[in-house]
Every structure is written in structure tokens, then in C-alpha cells.
């Protein structure tokens, strides 16, 4: 079994605005393009068209983060893929999960090419609309436009992959995707699962 971290160029404000927006066209586009089961379709409608979405949209900054239900998580992933522009991905086998997660969550394992190691965890652990899904799939994260150069360095920074095969591949994939989102002038949103 393999796991994939997909990267989308998508302004966080645009994604946040979809919650409780009443955007029936967005819901219709996701339902036509997606493979959501009945429960996930209901969750999508509630997040975009319903009261739950309006509640999430009106939450003040800094409010307590809540855990998304399994069907909400699937619906949020569908919203990201519908609203964002795919800019890259990286994957690992289930046996490589430990090394992959170490790369993202433990600065001791991150390559020096990631200028700000403290930001890597946000690629799989940044809430969307005050919701997170830790320890389950799909998970999500992202970086805003100000964080991305701090993470991968400025435009003149040359990326030299580390010597470790898997870490080199994952690091290069992440670096390319972050650079692609920067080039599009948008924030970065990720889906991991």
C-alpha cells in the first residue's frame, strides 16, 4: 500500500470562503467529478451549503481546532482538489511512513535544503476552516505565500538533494511543488492519504 502527499496551488482565503458559501455550482462540480459516497456527499453539502459550513466560516481566528469526522475529511479533500490547481505530489510505501513523517516532523531528519525546518509539519498538520484530521486519512496542511520562501529559500536558492535515496526523492518532489505554487502566486494546500 502506498500513501501520497498531493500539492495544490490554492489561496487559503478562497478555500475558507467556500465553507458556508451556498455555492451550489461548486457542490455540483464536485459531485459530478468526484467519487464521494452518500455520506460524504451529505457532508459536502453541509460544509458548503449548510449550517455547519456557516459556523466554520464565522469562527474567529485562533478558535479551538476541532477534529473533522471521517466523511467531513473526505469532503474537504474533494473541495481542495476542485478549487486548487495540482502542482505536484510525492508518495511512499506504507513501510516508508516512518522516514517520510520524520522528514516532515523532525528537524533532525529534514535536509538542510529546507530553509525553515519548523514549517515542514504544516504540510500535513495545518487546519482547514478550524478542522484537522490527525492520525487518520485524508489529512491536510499547507503553507501560505509568506511561509513558502522561508521553507525552500528564495528564488536564487539551488536545491541539492540529500544523499539518502527516499529522502532525496521526497525532498525534491516537495521542493518542486512548493516552487510551483510560488510561481503561480498562490498559497499551498496539501492532501495526504
Bridge partner list, 7? 88, 190
Does some domain include residue 148? yes
Does some domain include residue 41? no
Asked whether the predicted pLDDT for residue 95 surpasses 80, the reply is: no
The sign of the dihedral angle between the CA atoms of 158, 163, 165, 167 is negative
The least confident of 29-38, 39-48, 63-72 is 29-38
pLDDT tens-digit profile of 148-161? Answer: 888 777 655 555 65
Asked whether the predicted pLDDT for residue 183 surpasses 60, the reply is: yes
Does some domain include residue 40? no
Provide the domain limits for residue 90: 2-12+68-192
Please tell me whether residue 191 adopts helix, strand or coil conformation.
strand
Does some domain include residue 113? yes
For position 157, what pLDDT does the model report?
58
Peptide bond into 98 cis (omega under 30): no
How many structural domains comprise the chain? 1
| Start-to-end Cα distance in the chain | 11
Does some domain include residue 153? yes
Does some domain include residue 31? no
The answer to pTM > 0.85 is yes
Where on the phi/psi map is residue 135: left (φ > 0), alpha (ψ -120 to 50), or beta? left
Which range, 3-12, 61-70, 149-158, is most confident?
3-12
Amino acid at each position: 500500500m502506498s500513501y501520497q502527499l498531493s500539492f495544490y496551488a490554492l489561496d487559503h482565503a478562497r478555500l475558507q470562503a467556500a465553507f458556508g458559501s451556498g455555492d451550489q455550482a461548486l457542490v455540483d462540480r464536485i459531485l459530478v467529478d468526484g467519487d464521494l459516497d452518500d455520506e460524504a456527499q451529505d457532508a459536502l453539502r453541509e460544509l458548503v451549503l449548510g449550517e455547519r459550513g456557516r459556523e466554520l466560516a464565522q469562527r474567529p481566528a485562533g478558535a479551538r481546532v476541532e477534529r473533522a469526522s471521517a466523511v467531513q475529511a473526505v469532503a474537504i479533500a474533494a473541495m481542495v482538489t476542485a478549487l486548487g490547481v495540482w502542482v505536484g505530489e510525492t508518495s511512499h510505501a506504507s513501510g516508508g511512513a516512518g522516514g517520510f513523517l520524520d522528514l516532515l516532523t523532525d528537524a533532525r531528519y529534514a535536509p538542510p535544503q529546507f530553509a525553515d525546518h519548523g514549517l515542514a509539519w504544516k504540510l500535513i498538520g495545518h487546519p482547514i476552516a478550524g478542522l484537522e484530521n490527525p492520525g487518520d486519512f485524508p489529512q491536510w496542511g499547507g503553507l501560505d505565500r509568506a511561509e513558502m520562501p522561508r521553507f525552500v529559500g528564495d528564488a536564487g536558492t539551488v536545491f541539492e538533494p540529500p544523499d539518502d535515496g527516499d529522502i532525496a526523492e521526497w525532498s525534491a518532489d516537495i521542493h518542486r511543488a512548493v516552487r510551483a505554487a510560488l510561481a503561480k502566486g498562490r498559497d499551498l494546500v496539501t492532501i495526504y492519504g
